[in-house]
A and B are shown apart, each in its own frame.
Chain A
Amino acid sequence: MNYVPDFSIVTDNWIVLMRGLWVTIQIWIPSIVIGLAGGFLLAQARLARSKVIRGTSLVYVELFRDTPVLIQLIWFFYAFPILIGVQLSPYAAALLGLTLNTSAYASEIFRGGIRSIHRGQMEGALAIGMTRAQAMRRVILPQVVKRMLPAFTNRTIEVAKMSSLASVISVHELMYQGRLLSSTYYRPFEILTAVAFIYFVLIYPGTFLAGRLEKHLARSN
Chain B
Amino acid sequence: MAGKPILETKALHKRFGDHHVLRGIDFTVEPGERVAIIGGSGSGKSTFLRCLNFMETLSEGEVWLDGTRIGVERKGTVTYPEKQLCQVRERLGMVFQQFNLFPHMSVLDNVMEGLVTVKRMSRPEARRVAEAELAKVGLSEKHDAWPGRLSGGQQQRVAIARALSMQPEILLFDEPTSSLDPELVGEVLRVIKQLAEEGRTMLLVTHELGFAYHFATKVIFLAHGVFHEVGTPDEVLKNPRQARTQDFLRRFGEFAF
Interface residues, chain A, with chain B CB atoms under 8 Å away: 118, 120-121, 123-132, 134, 138-139, 142-143, 146, 219-221
Q: B96 interface residue, CB < 8 Å from A?
A: yes
| Residue contact A121 to B100, C-beta cutoff 8 Å | yes
A-B contact pairs, 9 of them (CB 8 A): A123-B55, A123-B100, A124-B101, A125-B102, A127-B53, A127-B96, A129-B114, A131-B83, A143-B104
Return the contact of B94 from the options A121, A127, A131, A139 (Cβ within 8 A).
A127
Q: Bound state CA distance, A221 and B104, in angstroms?
A: 8
Q: B33 interface residue, CB < 8 Å from A?
A: no
User: Which residues from chain A contact B146 at a C-beta distance below 8 Å?
Assistant: 219-220
User: Which residues from chain B contact A129 at a C-beta distance below 8 Å?
Assistant: 86-87, 89-90, 114, 118, 166
| Residue contact A127 to B89, C-beta cutoff 8 Å | yes
Q: CB-nearest residue of chain B relative to A127? A: B94
| Residue contact A124 to B100, C-beta cutoff 8 Å | yes
User: Which residues from chain A contact B100 at a C-beta distance below 8 Å?
Assistant: 120-121, 123-124, 127
CB distance from B73 to the nearest CB of A (A): 21
Q: Bound state CA distance, A219 and B118, in angstroms?
A: 27
| Residue contact B90 to A126, C-beta cutoff 8 Å | no
Interface residues, chain B, with chain A CB atoms under 8 Å away: 53, 55, 82-83, 85-87, 89-90, 93-94, 96, 98-104, 113-114, 117-118, 146, 148, 159, 162-163, 165-166
Q: A220-B146, A220-B148, A221-B148 are in contact. Are A128 and B55 (CB under 8 A)?
A: no
Q: Which of A129, A131, A132, A146 has the most CB of B within 10 A?
A: A129
Return the contact of A134 from the options B53, B96, B117 (Cβ within 8 A).
B117
Return the contact of A128 from the options B82, B87, B103, B113 (Cβ within 8 A).
B113
Q: CB-nearest residue of chain B relative to A132? A: B82
CB distance from B133 to the nearest CB of A (A): 12
CB distance from B134 to the nearest CB of A (A): 15
Q: Bound state CA distance, A138 and B82, in angstroms?
A: 17
User: Which residues from chain A contact B166 at a C-beta distance below 8 Å?
Assistant: 128-129
| Residue contact B96 to A128, C-beta cutoff 8 Å | no
| Residue contact A220 to B55, C-beta cutoff 8 Å | no
User: Which residues from chain B contact A131 at a C-beta distance below 8 Å?
Assistant: 82-83, 86
Q: CB-nearest residue of chain A relative to B88? A: A129
Q: Bound state CA distance, A127 and B52, in angstroms?
A: 11
Return the contact of B117 from the options A123, A130, A143 (Cβ within 8 A).
A130
CB distance from A69 to the nearest CB of B (A): 34
| Residue contact A146 to B104, C-beta cutoff 8 Å | yes
CB distance from B147 to the nearest CB of A (A): 8
| Residue contact B148 to A128, C-beta cutoff 8 Å | no
| Residue contact B163 to A128, C-beta cutoff 8 Å | yes
